[in-house]
């Protein structure tokens, strides 16, 4: 490996060899400290690093992201966890730092999707953070540095094959970015837009109250969708993304995916779910999958059999009313959209998941209808005038 080039395991797929990553001028802004990353690993790595770097710069809090296939399954900043979330994220038995809390939140947003993730950390990785990563199924991590003991822990993961990348936190790419598709070269200005409170001045609803916590969560949600494959809708609350709907051709389908994930995040904290009794030897990944099954509205005989294999007993599934009553306890959720909302259907779906604040570019011919829907629900809507497509 030279300072300007590394050989990758393979491209998008194992049959796409050879594959490499290189820089035309100077040297690469990162070092591979352990493992042998692949093409998708490096796409996840470089996208996720930008996300956490921006969150840290804007909110002055340690930030983390959990990436899968070049989109975040979760992203968060290091706000302390309550006891319920500690248990839901399987970290109630661990020493926690601000950085490890950020990663626990990022990983905990959608633990099923985060299986085999790429982790990104805004700060030097400490022992508590390395401890969480070491016991989860993960492909790799990128950070600006590692404490010696933390690096030692991570280098032992996967029998020394776990990907550990250290990036120069001061590196800035050129303003112009270039890619090649089907032998054709594309060129554009890099998306260096800063997601900041300055974007939130155009409040178009009757309700114009935007507390600091909502501003923080808007920055989390909007920075997250900035690095998510479009179309994208993102839900956030309490300093973390709780549902990301990515890569769909229809915005309402993005909203439904994000809303369903947000609902699942909320329902994971239901007392019945928190009280599930696990059979001896059932690991965290199996628990994640079992909880996901348990929260389905209907179970097939095979799905019930899978639950029987993991649980001491299967409590009655939550009724529709129990679900609605529990979800009704969650309020103050933020929704961010990477492009305008052409219909009010996204607002109607958002309301079901406790959304109080919506941020979007605006500019649809039906803006008035969408604003009216927000007013009916007492929501706050902000028009930024800025689209955030990412492909």
Identify the DSSP state of 205.
S
Residues 6+ apart with CB under 8 A from 293: 299, 303, 306, 307
| DSSP at 174 | -
Torsion of CA 114, 115, 117, 123, to 10 degrees: 70
Quote the CA–CA distance of 8 and 232 in Å, as a whole number.
Answer: 29
Counting Cβ atoms within 10 Å, is residue 302 exposed (0-12), middle (13-18) or buried (19+)?
exposed
The answer to whether 105 and 74 are in contact (CB under 8 A) is yes
Strand 71-77 with 63-68, pairing? antiparallel
Measure the CA–CA gap between 381 and 208, rounded to whole angstroms.
8
HSE, side-chain direction, 13 A CA sphere, residue 349: 23
Mind telling me the catalytic residues? 68-69, 231, 391
34: phi then psi, degrees, rounded to nearest 5: -160, 150
Residue 271 CB-half CA count within 13 A? 3
Distance in angstroms between the alpha carbons of the first and the last residue of the chain: 29
Contact 247, 71 (CB under 8 A): yes
Q: Are 64 and 119 in contact (CB under 8 A)?
A: yes
């Amino acid at each position: 490996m030279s300072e300007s080039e590394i050989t990758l395991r393979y491209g998008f797929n194992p049959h796409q060899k050879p594959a490499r990553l290189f820089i035309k001028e100077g040297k690469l802004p990162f070092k591979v400290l352990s493992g042998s990353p692949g093409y998708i690993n490096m796409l996840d790595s470089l996208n996720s690093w930008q996300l956490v770097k921006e969150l840290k710069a804007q909110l002055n809090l340690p930030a983390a992201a959990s990436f899968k296939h070049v989109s975040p399954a979760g992203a968060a900043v290091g706000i302390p966890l309550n006891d319920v979330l500690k248990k839901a994220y399987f970290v109630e038995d661990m020493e926690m730092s601000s950085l490890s809390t950020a990663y626990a939140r990022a990983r905990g947003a959608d633990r099923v999707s985060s299986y085999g993730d790429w982790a990104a950390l805004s700060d030097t990785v400490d022992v508590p953070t390395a401890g969480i990563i070491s016991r989860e199924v993960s492909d790799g991590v990128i950070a600006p540095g590692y404490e010696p003991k933390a690096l030692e822990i991570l280098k032992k993961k996967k029998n020394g094959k776990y990907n550990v990348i250290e990036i120069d936190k001061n590196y800035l790419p050129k303003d112009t970015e270039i890619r090649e598709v089907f032998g054709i070269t594309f060129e554009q200005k890099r998306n260096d837009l800063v997601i900041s409170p300055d974007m939130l001045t155009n409040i178009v609803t009757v309700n114009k109250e935007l507390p600091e916590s909502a501003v923080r969560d808007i920055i989390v949600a909007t920075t997250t969708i900035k690095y998510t494959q479009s179309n994208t809708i993102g839900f956030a609350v309490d300093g973390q993304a709780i549902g990301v709907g990515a890569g769909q051709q229809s915005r309402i389908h993005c909203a439904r995916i994000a809303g369903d994930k947000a609902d699942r995040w909320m329902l994971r904290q239901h007392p019945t779910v928190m009280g599930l009794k696990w059979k001896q030897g059932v690991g965290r990944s199996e628990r994640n999958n079992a909880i996901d099954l348990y929260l389905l509205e209907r179970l097939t005989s095979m799905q019930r059999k899978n639950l029987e294999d993991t649980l001491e007993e299967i409590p009655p599934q939550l009724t529709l009313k129990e679900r609605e009553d529990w979800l009704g306890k969650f309020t103050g959720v933020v929704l961010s959209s990477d492009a305008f909302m052409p219909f009010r259907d996204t607002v109607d779906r958002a309301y079901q998941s406790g959304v109080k604040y919506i941020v979007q570019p605006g500019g649809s011919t039906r803006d008035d209808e969408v604003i009216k829907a927000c007013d009916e629900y007492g929501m706050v809507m902000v028009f930024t005038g800025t689209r955030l497509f990412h492909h």
